[in-house]
Structure 1
Amino acid sequence: MTAAVSPVHSVRRRLALALPALLLAALPLGLRAEAGASLRASEVFEPLVMLERLPESQRHLIGWRYTLQTIPPGGTVKAWYLDQGQRVEIPIAADGSFERPAALTRPGFDPLLQANRPERELKLDAQLMVRAPDFQSLRYADLQRAAQQMNGFIKSQAGLLSFLAPKVQYMDFHCQTAGDCLVELKLPQGTRRLTPDAQGRIGLALSAELEDVNPEIQVKGRMLAITGRQPE
């Protein structure tokens, strides 16, 4: 899990200027050339801890989505840590997503997270995501409120540079596979259908026009997550 593919540098690419406290420091790695990748839990989950410092009312619609995948994608990844000498596996879903184990919230417990592959073969990513009870049917206003919380979090971390921090302008729907999902916007003039790109991502640009209409959004097929994105 190298600095080049850590959540810190994923944030650098996707949320430029949003998390200066993280962006100013490179992650200490301490890896042997052919060793499996390793990184302190506190470094991996620092973006999540920073979000949790906000009042619940300012973050209840959003969270962090972590993924750990091979380069190129498709390989098997295992990750674990030691707790009182016992190896504890971190469950990783087929799409590479994983959550912070509850044990890692214990005060003073900051183990090394280890992987079964060397750092050069892994991509560790973190993205701000929408928390919704049902991805299959929602309103545009649901996405807009989540985007407002994302932007509020970005601004809170940008400090004196908050006026420079780019805002979230897109919501990306992540399909389980590129060919089996579809997003439909129920507009007054008819249904607008959005299809995934080669990576299985459907991008929806946030706009004043959609805000005025507040269309129903229906998802066809298996959706893994909805994440916010700033302009490239």
Structure 2
Amino acid sequence: MKIAIIGGTGGQGLGIAIRFVQAGEDVIIGSRAIEKAEKAVEKVKELLDMDKIPNLKAAENADGAKEADILILTVPLAAQRATLLSIKDNAAGKVLIDATGPLESAIGGSPTRCIYLSEGAASERAQKILPEANVICAFNNISSGALMNFPNPIDCDCLMSGDDLESKKTVAKLIEKIPGVQVVDCGPLERAQIIEKITPLLIGLNIKKTCKDAGIRITGIDPECKLY
């Protein structure tokens, strides 16, 4: 499976790229500008202390979306709509994991407060922008700090929601290749309205506790009860 991380040059995108490269997946880091994507690839090589990573490449967002089988959106809320429109023609029929956090920082406010969107959730807005894609809300509650701590497993569950069962199976199987992560299916895509609001809570805890990888675990669920 080939994965394109759309807008993948920030901390979250780089962390996801590293984790999936380590898992042996083919990864494309996308950006609006190819030069920025290439710099991100070089950064990953530097962090992993590798001169060559054959399963990692750079591309402009639209080209990455065209080549990949599954897409992961890791951009701030302010860039979500424009980025999705730039890949719309190449996203039809594909799974798109939306990790967008509807944070007040998108309009100059606090990252510990959320914005209430007319569509409900950022992932629901993504589904309206890309009606022919299968949008899944995931990765919202796994911090970039935890992702970038790549020598170690991640002590955090990944809350997920979406309307297409087969897409959720594909996403769960993929994300659980990251050591330590268990995917918890929270139901239909509208549950993203709840999942996304956990993000500013965790950011606030990171600030208050002076850490960078606060996460969440859901207890009482049989780990063998998987979607796949």
What is the TM-score when the length of structure 1 is the normalising length?
0.30
Structure with the larger strand share: 1
Structure with the larger helix share: 2
Q: Which has the higher contact order (CA 8 A, sep 6+)?
A: 1
